[in-house]
Chains A and B, each alone.
Chain A
Amino acid sequence: MKAVVIGCGRVGSSIALQLQREGWEVNVIDEREEALTRLGTGWAGGFVVGHGMDTDVLHRAGIEDADAAVVATDGDNTNIVIGQVAQKRYGIGCVVVRVLDPARADFYAKRGLRTVCPTQTAISVLTDVVRACDVRPLEPTGSS
């Protein structure tokens, strides 16, 4: 099983390492060469320096025969475009895209792109935590 991870920040690098531990052949793309250090000294997968919009870069990372693509750069719109390119141009069945803006994540999810929105997750979790707190409602205050 082959995966391409685009964006090697905190999220992308952790996913790449985890997938590799689980037996995937992983190639990572990032614009900054320094991002490679996030993968640690024992990184046995591939690493391509370049922009994920650049089809040459995608080809060097083996997009053409990848089974999965994870798109997690720091730009929502960059992720949305690369995700659609992976899905529509290269026919990758398993494409997952990080989108921070809940509205855009929802818009593209409705159109068949598998988006993950950490902002929406945080909103839900934080709200649930508050709901679950054992706090008595405020007594109605009388006018004084």
Chain B
Amino acid sequence: MYVVVAGGGKVGANVARSLLDMGHEVTLIEQGRGRFERLEAEFGHLVLLGDATEIHTLERAGIARPPDLLLAVTGDDEDNLVIGQIAREGYDVEKVIARVNDPRNQVHFDLLGITQTVCAVSNILGLVGHEVPEHGLVRMLELRKENLEIVEVQIDKRSPVAGKTVEKLSLPEGSRLISVMRDGEAEIAVGSTVLQPGDQVLAILQPGKEDELRTALLAKK
């Protein structure tokens, strides 16, 4: 497949290298001359010097073909948004993945239709939550299109639901338990599944219902 990578920093350069190794066709765009020259030594004519938010630069990179995938991975969120919008709306690039540098800007990406995003800060914070589950609930996956999310909750001894079957639980509206992981083995949560201390439970719910779910499944602090 043909991939345009906008931004030749650590993220862009490493992704470009991996995609090339996988046999894909790649054009990498970098606007800083110093960085461009270092990249050119490795990637040769596959790297292009220019501002990827300029339509002219994107056209030189073959945006009109159009590419199967465009990655907007510069260190600047406004640039990534504009690159993504030009690709999607101007050139019908079907798949655009954008990097979000500041998680506070995620709302702008959502608003402006750049729905496939990757935010290292949010991912790391998610992992921190996973390692240090002090809030009792870890967000595992956001399903943006569906407006749902999957979270993990660890049931402890003090939990009001320990020893109860799933069908006896009063869960908040708009939430369901998916699976229960016990002793390294997962099973789908059904009505007769009995929750036990130590269980890691996956649940699907609408964003904003986390507190209600936490109250339903976990002991008060």
Residues of A within 8 A of B (CB): 53-55, 75-78, 80-81, 84-85, 88-89, 101, 103-104, 107, 111
Contacts and interface: CB of A to CB of B under 8 A. Distances in A.
Contacts of B79: 77
Interface string B66-105: 0000000000111101100010011000000000000011
30 contacts: A53-B77, A53-B78, A53-B108, A75-B78, A76-B53, A76-B82, A77-B53, A77-B76, A77-B79, A77-B82, A78-B78, A80-B78, A80-B82, A81-B77, A81-B78, A81-B81, A81-B82, A81-B108, A81-B112, A84-B111, A84-B112, A85-B112, A89-B111, A101-B54, A103-B55, A103-B56, A104-B53, A104-B86, A107-B86, A107-B90
* Interface secondary structure of B, over-half rule: helix
Contacts of B82: 76-77, 80-81, 104
A89 B78 CA distance: 16
B58 to A, nearest CB: 10
A30 to B, nearest CB: 16
Contact of B55 (A77, A104, A111): A104
Contacts of A55: 104, 107
Contacts of A101: 54
A80 B54 CA distance: 13
Contacts of B53: 76-77, 104
A128 B108 CA distance: 40
A103 B54 contact: yes
Nearest to A102: B55
Given A77-B81, A107-B86, A53 B54 contact: no
Contacts of B76: 77
